[in-house]
Each structure stands twice: as structure tokens, then as C-alpha cells.
Structure 1
Amino acid sequence: MKAFNIRSIVFTALFGALFIALSSVKFDLGFSAVPITLQNLAVMLAGAFLGARLGFTSITIVLLLAATGLPLLHGQGGLSYMTGPTGGFIAAFPFNAFFVGLFVVMLMNSRFSSNRTTTIVGLFLIFEVFGSLLSYVGGVPWLMHSLDYSFHLAMVKGCYPYLLGDALKAVVATAITMSLYPFIAIYRAKQSTSPTSAAHQTGMSH
């Protein structure tokens, strides 16, 4: 497989741009430093479409550019923003994309992919667990550290209010992935020099 051919570069850039675009959708909650955004929806889709490695790369490039001061996240950037109260969530995004990509490929290569209902449920669980809930592993402790919150207060202000929205975003990501997965399979097949190996990697047939 060619790791960084033109097609890979283009799609990596496109999903980086999607991440930036959806970062602009932001709703501040008056009681919390953590806004409601569509960032993790973009992260879920980057992982599902690009796979683990390129999904991780796409999101990481945006974060590195933002760290230099470019206003790419909600129109903000710079190290002070990246290490602010939401820094734990931001740092988790590349890993969200990586694990989503890893487990989506595993699901599609498994025997469960032949059953549509099982695939839908599996995708939803992958997006919910690895695309959303995983971010709280870093996000909540960093919120505690940066604002001197107790664990309970950090959960109240940085986790509980967002769980329903996370589930809805996982539903949307599942619907988009299911509707466009034949395209994803074609894209991944073109990354391989062997059509047979590409079909095995995607778990799809045409």
C-alpha cells in the first residue's frame, strides 16, 4: 500500500478541513467552560472514512497548525488555548479518530458485517465509545487540573450535560457511514495495489 499518494493527501486534507468547519459550530453553556461543538462528529467521520492512521494524521495536522496560533478551532488557536480547560478533550481527538478507524475496519472485516442490523449497532457503539466517551478519559482530569475542580464537579460541568448530544452525533455518524460505505470501500481499494487485498481490508464486496 502507498501510504501517502495523492489521493491519501487530498482526503486527509479534506477531513482536516471538515474538522475545522465543524469546529466553527459552537454553543457555549453559561455554567461550563466546555462548549457544545460538532468537532467529535468530524473526528468520527475522519476515522471511519480514512482509517486509523490517516484519520489520526488528519486531525493531528489541524491541531499542530492550531498550536502555532492559527485560529482553526472555534476561530481560536495558540498554545494557551490548546492547554486551556478544554485541552484534554482537544488532545484526545486524534486518538478518537485512530480508534474509530481501527475498530470500524475490524467490524467491516468480521463476519458481523454481513448482517446490516449488527453492523449498524456495531458502528454506533464504536462511534459512541471511541468517538465520544474516550475523550472524557483525558478531558475530565484536565478540566479538574486546570480549574481546580473536584471529580464530581468536573463530571457535572464537563461530562453529564454532553452525553445525549454525543449519542445523537454517534447516530448521525452511523447513518452517514452506512450510506456512504461503498464509496469508502472504493477509496480504500484504490490505496492498495491488489484488488483482492483491498476487498479483504474493507470487508466489502461489489
Structure 2
Amino acid sequence: MPSIQSTSANVQSNQAYRVRGLVFTALFAALFIAFSSIQFPVWYTPVPITLQTLAVMLAGGLLGATYGFWSIALVIALAGTGLPLLHGNGGLSLLFGHTAGFIWMFPFAALLIGWVSDRLFRSTAQLNTRQFIMLLAAIIGFGVLLEYASGVPWLAYKFDLTIHKALIAGCYPFLPVDIVKSVVAAILIRKLRPYLPRLRPAAR
């Protein structure tokens, strides 16, 4: 039977993990906002190049599934209330605008990348080459292709385009840049995650 001191220590430890998780959630939410403000217009498409997908990848890979999801979802929810958090814009018009298909998928991309990252780092602090390739594949699959799978059809719907024209406007110009962002994210996650403080108690 656990002692009162042991129970109290466990409660304090759990509270410390929760506070730490909230702090990192807020930090990566701020990173997502900051990276969303860095954009480069492309003259023949209404969709700009931004660094927000890099923030999504890093949030999932470094924070894990739960906190990665909430760090992105929190910003989107607040932007929906009208706060200008996503490249200086907010409100329901943004969340149902031409880039909404990408925006709504961001938290789920972070969730899925985090799910893979959690499992890869569960048994080791340093990823080997095979594990790194698995991480990179997850980032490209969930952080790039999954977002195109939802973003491009929505773009086609909003502008009454064919899927081919929507791919030209919302995928092809961005794919090489997103692959580069995926590689950068995978390298940073591999290097930095072992040094981040644990956000959850070790599984027993």
C-alpha cells in the first residue's frame, strides 16, 4: 500500500508534468503563429508559401501527439474567434476560406507525426538511420501529402476549379519547398527531442 508521502510525491510530479506540458504547448502555439506570419506570395496562385507547415511538423515531432495537436488546434480555435493569428488574419472567413482545407488538417498532421515520433523515441534517445527514414516518411506523409489531400479539393471547390487546376494552384508550386521543410524538420526533431524535458511520466 503506497504511503501518504509517496502519493503526495506522485501528485506533485503529475502536476509538474501538466504545467510543463502547458508551457510547451503555449511556446509551440506561439511558434506556429510566428511562422504563419512569414509568407511569400506566389503570383499565379492565391495560396502563399509560409513556414506554418514547418511549425506543425516540429510541434508534432518534438511535443508528441497530444501536446503537438493542442498547440496547433489552440491557435486555430482562437483564430476562429477573430484574433488575427494566422498570417495576420482571423475569423470564420479564414477558417472557411480558400485555404481552410489545409488549416483544418494542421492539428491532425501534428497529432499523427507526434504519434509516430512518440513510438520512435520510446525505446531510444538517438534514432538510427532506419528510424530517421521512418520519421521523415511520417512527416512527408502526414505533414505534406495528407494536407494536400484535404487542401487541394477544398481549393477546387472554393474557386470552382478542376482538380488538375487546383493542383497547379495549391500543390505543385509548394511541393519542393515542403519536402525541404520536411527534411529540416526531421533533422531538428532527431537532434533536439532527446534534449527536451519529458512531458509525460514514463510508461510503466
Q: Report the TM-score, using the length of structure 2 for normalisation.
A: 0.87
- Aligned pairs, number: 191
Q: Given the alignment, which residue of 62, 67, 84 partners 1:54?
A: 67
Paired residue for 1:176?
A: 188
Q: Given the alignment, which residue of 179, 184, 190 partners 1:167?
A: 179
> Segments of 4+ in structure 1 off by > 4 A?
1-4
SS, match of residue 177 in structure 1: helix
**CA–CA distance in 1 between the matches of 2:156 and 2:36?**
23
Q: Structure 1: any 5+ residue segments left out of the alignment?
A: 199-206
Paired residue for 2:3?
A: none
Identity across matched positions, percent = 47
Paired residue for 1:204?
A: none
Q: Which has the higher helix share?
A: 1
Shift in Å, 1:167: 0.6
| Cα separation, partners in 2 of 1:119 and 1:32, compared to 1, 3 Å | same
Instruction: Please give the residue correspondences for 1:100-115 in structure 2 after superposition, counting only pairs within 5 Å.
Output: 100-109=113-122
**CA–CA distance in 2 between the matches of 1:144 and 1:45?**
28
- Deviation readout 1:103-155 (Å, 9 max, x if unpaired): 112223469x8762112212211111111111011101110111101011001
Q: Structure 2: any 5+ residue segments left out of the alignment?
A: 1-12
Give the residue type in structure 2 aligned to 1:91: W
Give the residue type in structure 2 aligned to 1:173: A
Structure 2 contact 57–139 (Cα < 8 Å) conserved = yes
Paired residue for 1:119?
A: 131
**CA–CA distance in 2 between the matches of 1:137 and 1:15?**
25
| Cα separation, partners in 2 of 1:148 and 1:110, compared to 1, 3 Å | farther
**CA–CA distance in 1 between the matches of 2:39 and 2:107?**
19
Q: Given the alignment, which residue of 50, 63, 66 partners 1:37?
A: 50
Structure 2 contact 120–127 (Cα < 8 Å) conserved = no
Give the residue type in structure 2 aligned to 1:187: R
Structure whose CA Rg is larger: 2
